[in-house]
Chains A and B, each alone.
Chain A
Amino acid sequence: MNITTRLVTALAALALFAGAAMAQTCEVVGEAPMLAERVAAGDLPPAAERIPSNPMVLAVAEEIGTYGGEMLDLYDGSRLAEFRQFGYEGLVRWNTDGSEVIPNIAAGWEVSEDGSAYTFTLREGLRWSDGHPFTTADIQFYFDEVAFEPYNCCNDYMLVDGQKPVVEIIDDLTFSMSWDAPNSTLLQNLATSYGVQVTQFAAHYLEQFSMKKNPEAVEALMAEDGYDDYNEWWAANVGRYGQNSEYNNPDRPLMTAWIPTAPFIGQERFTFERNPYYFKVDEACNQLPYIDFRTWSLTPDEEVRVLRTMDGQDHFCRRDVCQPPNKAVLFDSQDQGDYRFVDLTNSDHNQMLLHIKYTHDLEERAALFQEKDFRVGLSLAMDRQNVIDTVYVGQGTPHQMAPRSGPFYNEQLATQFTEHDPALASEYLDRVLPERDANGMRMLNGEPFTFNVLVNAGFRADWADVMQLIERDWEAVGLDVNVIVGSDEFARSARQGNDVDAYVWAGENGTGQLPILAADEYVPEAAYGWYAWGAENYFGTEPANPVVTPPSDIQRMIELVSLIPTSASAEVQSDRMKELLQLHADGLWVIGLAMPEGDYRVVNSALRNVPNPLIGGWLYPGPGPLNFETFFYGN
């Protein structure tokens, strides 16, 4: 194999050269008292034998910590680990500020000259939580048994023009992935929340569930467990990415810093304990994590989560609790709850985006929505500052759907038409909806016209408040608005219907290099569940509404999204992303509200090594990459 180390497809700001772990070996390894006891009792090998010869060394934010303690969390009953607060352990990872991809389970990698082949080297002596070595056999198992099962989610980044990677196992510690064409965003994608699934499958344990490897034994086991459906049996024992079942089987070996000791589904409170074989150490060669236990309390009701946070029952608050509107009430209970405030910079770029249904089944509506003047009118009529002051307690800046900072910041895209100018808004709307009825409300082709906006208040209750204010702004320029507020399940089914003209959603992944990984979100309708535009080209399926052919701008956007990951150089990739954003700016395809600011978390007063500010996000699954394993309880 001809692999040379060269920065080729790298994104400018990302150090994408052959990554290598900090060379540090540990002669003497510090370990937690609870593990030292087990070593003394002969239940566990000595610490130095449990960690790799080249362990991952984490720099602590403040000081070398002490072992012990139990970190309390609240659990809402949905996903336990979405990698923002637990379980962010991929082959590679983001560094703490998200600017760079660094080694994690892999000790390093090399990229071929044209960016089409990647060779990863695993750390030597890496072990699963049951002590079994982690080798390329585990990577092989993932690619053979899990990765490309149709139900498995979220690894489209591994396909280049539909081609799966050729995975070659070179030896126990080395494997390569290659394609016919470049896959220039592979490392960044592996560092996102989706990348972790590559290292979640312990072959030596999970083989017993493999129908491909031992069908007879599997059938016997299934019969014993009373299953007749293989998929169900697999899901119940192995779990699936992103589902609760992922961590429900305590026998399943993991690579995470804390591991379950009993099934947690259906428990009111459950505790994970430290992984004795965790592969990270601090700079003084103390095995991490510092904290012994992570404990979650089931709290399905959102108000009660706020109350319990005030009561100090969450040592690192959830993002749904630590929202600007709750800041005052949390502030009042600081002493009682024994917590402090830490700022959080958000990589989300927008509190709320208005996605308009350009492929509406009613042609006259579709035609109206596709007029830019209509969208400009809507945008100018919105009094964003009023919304920010009223709903977001003054925190935020008017902002369209646009990266908030970094190399892809585009001032036109970010700020255009964000001023509140009802007179100008009326002028724009007069061009497309000139007719008015006796009450001054605008009509479409002589019929009364109502603009129906769907709000999923089950996900974000603040949106219902926001839309009440915006409804008034729009009605002031003669637009009759109907805001449909519904729960998750209502929104889910109503979204596809024809009585919805637009719906609102959050804007994520708006800093640094993240927009490249989320490029598809900038194609109107592609990423938000209305697959109409772009479906045929981008997703390879029939569009939901085949009568609508995208305008040429949209066609180009769809093309760019598919070209970006296969760019042959960083400049080309960056240029394509910028072109995509410029097309977005020219069309004002999605209307944004405000850039989130003033975010914060409350953390237990005694918790140390918590960086300030924290960073939040999704593709950078912040605060996950901020090294929870280095947190400890001081005095």
Chain B
Amino acid sequence: MTNYLLRRLLYMIPTLIAVSFVAFAVITLPPGDYADTYVLAARQSGQVVTPEQEQAIREFYKLDRPWIVQYWDWTSSIITRGDFGFSFQWDLPVNELIWPRLAMTFVVSFSSLMLVWIIAIPIGVYSAVRQYSVGDMLATIFGFIGLAIPNFLFALVLMYVSFRYFGASVGGLFSPEYINAPWSFAKLGDFLGKLWLPMVVLGTAGTAGLIRVVRANLLDELKKPYVVTARAKGMRERDAIRKYPLRIALNPFVSSLNDVFVQLVSGATIVSVVLSLQTTGPLLLEALRAEDMYLAGSFIMMLSLLTVVGTLVSDLLLAWLDPRIRFR
């Protein structure tokens, strides 16, 4: 077991090096660089930037060097000083931009994830056990609608409805008067009053998917002889389902848990843009659009690290859940 863990941890190092290399290469792949973004942004506000100035911007940010040199600069300062580089767009170190947003991102993602699990797993089980019942049909309809509506559209519609019919202030996670206020019960209440919107928007699609996964897997298991045996032996229906078939049916769910870590941090980008949430997703999106490569690269590195760690954790969980899976 210890051996296995050590080996897995060692494998992470070359994986992450490869990821950092590929990520950086891909980010710098599109034609142009941040200097072009700068020129375009200036142009849109009415300003004219001459080719000399464009070149000077390029030199200011050392974009005129080959990308492999830039890559080396970036990775070596991460390793030696924990310095993730500088964001061109914001004129701030990447560290100052990413960390403050993580907490809020985590709260939003975690709460919508919990909502998904709490709703989806029981419904999935119910749908499988009472296959083709009215309840199953309703859950299926609800699930597919949730899956089909694009999240950002759903967010826009919900915002419009809450503006038009409830007069609620639109977007964000806090009402204006609470944004910069210290935490209090009133602020917490206000926050919870706002949190439902991203939770519901982000939750619907995930709920639908998970209901289908649980339902399908459980249906497969329910027909197997060991379930029939358990029932024949007079085991209570609840235990007969919970103890064995449900555990197996959750296998695919658990093995996809590696993504959870990434989801928790990356947030739902487009929805966050629409809802004006100060989470990490919009920051990454903007960084990629502007070719703000150190900021984007650092994000991707962080997400990759979480994916790798998440995979390990989900593998360990899987082994615990299903004793048939063994470490080799």
Contacts and interface: CB of A to CB of B under 8 A. Distances in A.
Interface stretch (B9-17, B173-181, B201-209, B316-324): B173-181
B39 A267 contact: no
Interface string A541-555: 100000000000000
Interface stretch (B111-119, B132-140, B159-167, B295-303): B159-167
B195 interface: no
B86 to A, nearest CB: 5
Contact of B171 (A245, A308, A618): A308
Contacts of A365: none
A267 B282 CA distance: 13
Question: Could you say which of A271, A529, A618 has the most chain B C-beta atoms within 10 Å of its C-beta?
Answer: A529
A153 B41 contact: no
Interface stretch (B45-53, B224-232, B245-253): B45-53
B180 A269 contact: yes
Interface string A326-337: 000000000010
Nearest to B85: A232
Interface string B12-52: 00000000000000000011100011011111111111111
Interface stretch (A44-52, A74-82, A138-146): A74-82
A154 interface: yes
A535 B51 CA distance: 9
Contact of A268 (B49, B170, B276): B276
Interface in B133-158: 156
B101 A266 contact: yes
A242 interface: yes
Interface residues of A, number: 72
A193 B97 contact: no
B50 A493 contact: no
Contacts of B273: 300-301
Contacts of B290: 489
Interface in B77-105: 77, 81, 83, 86, 89-93, 96-97, 100-101
A313 B175 CA distance: 12
B172 interface: yes
A161 interface: no
A310 interface: yes
A395 interface: no
B108 to A, nearest CB: 13
A300 B83 CA distance: 28
Interface residues of B, number: 65
B101 A489 contact: no
Interface string A594-635: 000000000000000000000000110000000000000000
Contacts of A211: none
A235 B172 contact: no
A150 B172 CA distance: 40
Contact of B47 (A231, A242, A301, A535): A242
B37 A489 contact: yes
Contact of A541 (B30, B44, B51, B282): B51
Nearest to B81: A226
B309 interface: no
Contact of A618 (B45, B160, B176, B179): B45
Given A245-B90, A266-B101, 9 more contacts: A270-B180, A298-B278, A299-B276, A303-B274, A308-B170, A459-B44, A489-B37, A492-B36, A520-B48
Per CB-CB distance, the 6 closest pairs between chain A and chain B, nearest first, are: A618-B46, A245-B91, A150-B56, A151-B60, A235-B91, A493-B31
Interface of B: 30-32, 36-37, 39-53, 55-57, 59-62, 77, 81, 83, 86, 89-93, 96-97, 100-101, 156, 159-160, 163, 167, 169-174, 176, 179-180, 273-278, 282, 286, 289-291
Interface of A: 77-79, 82, 149-154, 156, 193-194, 226-229, 231-232, 235-236, 239-240, 242-245, 248, 265-271, 295, 297-301, 303-304, 307-308, 310-311, 313, 336, 459, 487-489, 491-493, 496, 505, 508-509, 520-521, 527-529, 531, 535, 539-541, 618-619
22 contacts: A153-B42, A228-B77, A229-B86, A231-B60, A232-B86, A232-B93, A235-B91, A236-B93, A266-B278, A268-B172, A268-B276, A295-B176, A299-B276, A300-B273, A304-B170, A307-B160, A313-B176, A492-B40, A508-B46, A520-B48, A529-B43, A539-B52
